[in-house]
């Protein structure tokens, strides 16, 4: 991808009195209102309102945007602060997130069941670990990756190691969600994320050195998209970011979701490590959301949706950097991703609820199965030929090994599963007549 075209100079426009009069008249009539928060790189290709040039239209929009901006404590390499403005679209998105994801909201019905809750948690942890790694180049399928995580087998290559490390980092985030973030914590997370994946193993858990050239490049053209701040500034910059994330040294209220998004951006901008910056930044975003009691965030994956449009993700960074450090581009895109993920979670919850009700209606009053066995049988019906192990069943529901073993042996005793021995372990699979057995 290419670096977006930088907008015309706003300060230069203010010196042109004739242009300013025309633009101010347009603004007073309300013609500056925006449906979308467009960057100049997009706007310059659109037809401007009658009587205005593209540049004058842009200046009208910029006048409106400058009105209620808030600067944050993070600055660019030229010491110019980043800032944002609360638009109607941003406020609408934040309201939706507040209604559905945090505070004292009631639990969605399926998640009130501890066993279903654990299943949803494992699913989201795996999905985020896999897709966050794939965003950084890890090459493997979800099926293989999930099989590895469920069975807890050792990673076979660097791609699987990235995913495995990410899974451990996400679990660590859950452990520290009620604590302040520190430089030491960030270094710990980086060590977890990059363990056995770096060309220089000594780079894990430390900031880059001055002689380590790190830039963000287009993978195809090798064009440099971002020059991170100098290495000798990293400790100070990350310390300021920690204060911002922990809500210290600031008298200005910033909505917790916006704070988490700015932490995500700020860490990515600083780029303090030789590798693993994106994965660490997204982990810190999760920490910030969970610290602010958006507990339902444990059950969603943002990287799943970022992976669907990685160019838009990268462009949201570049739009901010090329337009006066305007964070609204990055904020707007991240809010869009969060709400997509939230909608997907509720669709999944409804699907699981409908499946459970249908299955329960078929097995009503039989008292033959516990919840975990029901879930396995439903999966076996949808995925004929799938093999199940005690270890995978244990990890999927976070239960004791003996409990998992008894679940599978009981289903075999009742005729729903068969088994074969592979090495020292038993592998279970659905009986050929499982559908007729369930119907009976």
Query: In a structure prediction context, what are the per-residue pLDDT tens digits for the chain, which is 440 residues long?
Result: 889 999 988 766 766 666 677 788 787 877 666 778 999 999 999 999 888 889 988 988 888 888 789 999 999 999 999 999 999 999 999 999 998 876 555 555 555 555 566 667 778 888 898 999 888 888 887 888 888 888 889 999 999 999 999 999 999 999 999 999 999 999 999 999 999 999 999 999 999 999 998 999 988 899 999 999 999 999 999 999 999 999 987 778 999 999 999 999 999 999 999 999 999 999 999 999 999 999 888 888 899 999 999 999 999 999 999 999 999 999 999 999 999 998 988 888 787 777 667 766 776 566 778 889 988 888 887 777 788 999 999 999 999 999 999 999 999 999 989 999 888 788 999 888 776 777 66
Closest CA to 142 of 118, 117, 116, 123: 123
Phi/psi class of residue 226: alpha, beta or left (left: φ > 0; alpha: ψ in -120 to 50)?
beta
pLDDT (0 to 100) of residue 38: 94
pTM for this model (two decimals)? 0.82
- The fold adopted by the segment(s) 73-347 is Fic-like fold (1.10.3290)
In contact, 257 and 94? CB cutoff 8 Å? yes
The dihedral through the CA atoms of 368, 372, 376, 379 has a sign that is: positive
In contact, 138 and 167? CB cutoff 8 Å? no
What is the phi/psi pair of residue 23, to 5°? Answer: -70, -40
Q: Which percentage of the chain shows pLDDT scores above 90?
A: 56
Q: Which residues pair with 217 in a beta bridge?
A: 224
Q: Where are the domains of the chain?
A: 10-67, 73-347, 363-439
What architecture does CATH give domain 363-439? Orthogonal Bundle (1.10)
């Amino acid at each position: 991808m290419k670096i977006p075209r930088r907008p015309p100079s706003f300060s230069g426009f203010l010196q042109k009195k004739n242009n300013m009069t025309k633009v101010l008249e347009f603004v007073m009539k309300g013609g500056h209102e925006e449906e979308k928060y467009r960057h100049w790189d997009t706007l310059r290709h659109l037809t401007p309102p009658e009587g205005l040039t593209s540049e004058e239209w842009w200046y009208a929009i910029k006048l409106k945007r400058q009105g209620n901006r808030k600067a944050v404590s993070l600055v660019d390499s030229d010491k110019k602060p980043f800032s944002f403005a609360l638009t109607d679209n941003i406020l609408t998105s934040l309201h939706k997130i507040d209604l559905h994801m945090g505070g004292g909201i009631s639990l969605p019905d399926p998640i009130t069941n501890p066993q279903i809750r654990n299943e949803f948690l494992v699913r989201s942890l795996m999905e985020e670990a896999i897709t966050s790694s794939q965003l950084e180049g890890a090459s493997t399928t979800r099926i293989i990756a999930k099989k590895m995580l469920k069975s807890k087998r050792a990673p076979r290559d660097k791609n699987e190691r990235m995913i495995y490390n990410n899974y451990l980092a996400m679990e660590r985030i859950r452990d520290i969600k009620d604590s302040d973030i520190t430089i030491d914590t960030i270094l710990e997370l980086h060590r977890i994320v990059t363990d056995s994946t770096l060309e220089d193993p000594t780079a894990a858990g430390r900031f880059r050195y001055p002689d380590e050239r790190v830039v963000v490049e287009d993978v195809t053209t090798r064009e440099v998209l971002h020059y991170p701040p100098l290495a000798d500034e990293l400790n100070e910059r990350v310390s300021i970011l920690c204060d911002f994330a922990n809500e210290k040294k600031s008298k200005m209220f910033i909505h917790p979701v916006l704070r988490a998004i700015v932490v995500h951006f700020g860490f990515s901008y600083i780029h303090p490590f030789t590798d693993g910056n994106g994965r660490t930044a997204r982990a810190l975003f999760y920490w910030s959301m969970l610290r602010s009691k958006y507990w339902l965030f444990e059950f969603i994956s943002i990287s799943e949706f970022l992976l669907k449009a990685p160019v838009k993700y990268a462009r949201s960074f570049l739009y901010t950097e090329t337009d006066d450090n305007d964070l609204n581009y990055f904020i707007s895109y991240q809010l869009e991703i969060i709400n997509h993920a939230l909608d997907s979670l509720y669709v999944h919850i409804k699907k699981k609820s409908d499946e459970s009700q249908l299955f329960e209606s078929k097995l009503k009053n039989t008292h033959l199965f516990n919840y975990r066995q029901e879930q396995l049988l439903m999966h076996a019906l949808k995925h004929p030929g799938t093999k199940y192990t005690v270890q995978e069943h244990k990890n999927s529901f976070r239960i004791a090994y003996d409990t998992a073993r008894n679940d599978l042996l009981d289903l075999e005793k009742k005729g729903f599963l068969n088994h074969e021995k592979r090495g020292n372990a038993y592998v279970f699979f659905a009986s050929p007549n499982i559908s007729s057995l369930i119907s009976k």
